[in-house]
Structure 1
Amino acid sequence: MQQNIAAPPSELRADCSRCFGLCCVALPFTASADFATDKAAGEPCGNLREDFRCGIHSQLRQKGFTGCTVYDCLGAGQKVSQVTFGGRDWRSVSREDARRMFEVFPVVRQLHELLRYLTEALTLPAARPVHADVRALLAETERLTLLTADELAELDVPAHRQRVNVLLLRASELTRAGAGRRKERRGADLIGARLKGADLRRANLRGAYLIAADLTGADLRGADLIGADLRDADLTDADLTGAFFLTQPQVNAARGSDGTKLPSSVSRPGHWTAGP
């Protein structure tokens, strides 16, 4: 249960210095608790500067753009900017090429998410029986990220995701196997649930809705958290040691404290408080 989950490689982490602000242009958002204004897909955010940097990056939460602080392209931005389009930015290409750039960015982001999970599966010792298959699918997924823009636009990502998911499910089962009853909470509606101090060791929380759930002091060691919605979940003093398939955007969307124990695959968000 105490497996050491390494941080994802640098190519699976956002590097805004090598991107042309694609997430600030390609993606739409609606005025809400997460965004102060509306923005259509393909329309540059009003906070985007000429150098493709955010003009209010250090004040996003104060300015009403919390949604930006919990987003991570997982390296897709620099892949599309520097590889797919060879370092040409959306301001310098034709309108059609810019439209295609914005179209394929979410596709590559999905592929990078799969790369992130597959890479982590190789760090799970108990999942060794499927490591050979994981490596093969990892190589295939990386190859897909290198397709041309036109090929990426036509790619059947859901079909590929399904193939990956079969392996990730098996890796999860192998990793969570062991003494004690494992809790099955896959896709469970746990919105606002009172789970303070709950024993969720080796739990299957894949795709669970944990929005605003009270997980204060909960034991989540060795839990599968792939796709779990942790928006505004309270992880104060919770123990997520060895929890796997947990991404930085999930952690960024939650609340926590200095007492929250996290796997090494993610970093402690700067906006978390020290707690009482």
Structure 2
Amino acid sequence: MIGVLHVSAHLSAALILMLLLELGIDTCIRHNLLATSGYHTLYEWYRSVESEHFPDRTGLRARIEQWTFGLYPACIKYLMSAFDVPEVMAVTRINICKNGMDSLSRGGAVIYYASVFLYFWVFSTPIVSLVFGSYLYICINWFHIHFDEAFSSLRIANYKSFTRFHITSKGDLEVFTLAVDKVPKAWKLDPSWDSESKLPHSHSYRRKFPSKWRAVSPQQDPVSTWKIFKQKELRHNCKMRLKLLLYVSISSVAVDQRKVRWMQTSLPVQ
């Protein structure tokens, strides 16, 4: 139900934005702010200002136009038309209202839809963020769901955690969730890591200094500030399907198939 309401809010916002965009263009047309002289209004304004403030007494512009076979003014005209998106939308809209949608060529329709999409994208971006943010706020405070999505959207560097599994000698599965409240922002090389003797093929978790880096501030070093947020032990004779659970968990960290086969044979499932 909450998903249907979420989609309905997005669709309603998109429809309202399109209506406001059409009303805005129509208002500008009624007040002679757009669509006053075709697609090249900006270029005609440029030519009038150019001839007024920079008169061509020697006829240089005409000679350049002749030498470039008309390419010189044509490039300026169509570049200005490409940047004058509201004028293109307004003139095309008037043509559609007068002659119908069938009067548009395929290229004209593509240009019109691209112009509308450009402005719609600009206006819809903050509205989509508002709708989605409101959805996450309601889900967290009233429905108690989507906590991970809401926390990730805040882009907070602190309050990180990860889960680790351990199999005891009795075949029990221990689940540990380790958490750090404050993540350091400044790091430096740990000299103890270089000075520690390293055996070949030794795992990092068996070392006294497993990380090459440490926090600049000792009070923020995760080695000294971590805590066990949640701990749980699953007996090997419990009714949960530990074989499938362990297979998925350990396969996700890319261990070899020999360990997976050992787990399947050593942990009976009832």
The two structures share one fold, judged by TM-score above 0.5:
no
TM class by smaller structure: under 0.3
TM-score, normalised to structure 1, is: 0.21
Q: Which protein has the larger Cα radius of gyration, Structure 1 or Structure 2?
A: 2
Q: Relative to total residues, which structure has the larger strand share, 1 or 2?
A: 2
Report the structure, 1 or 2, having the larger helix content: 2
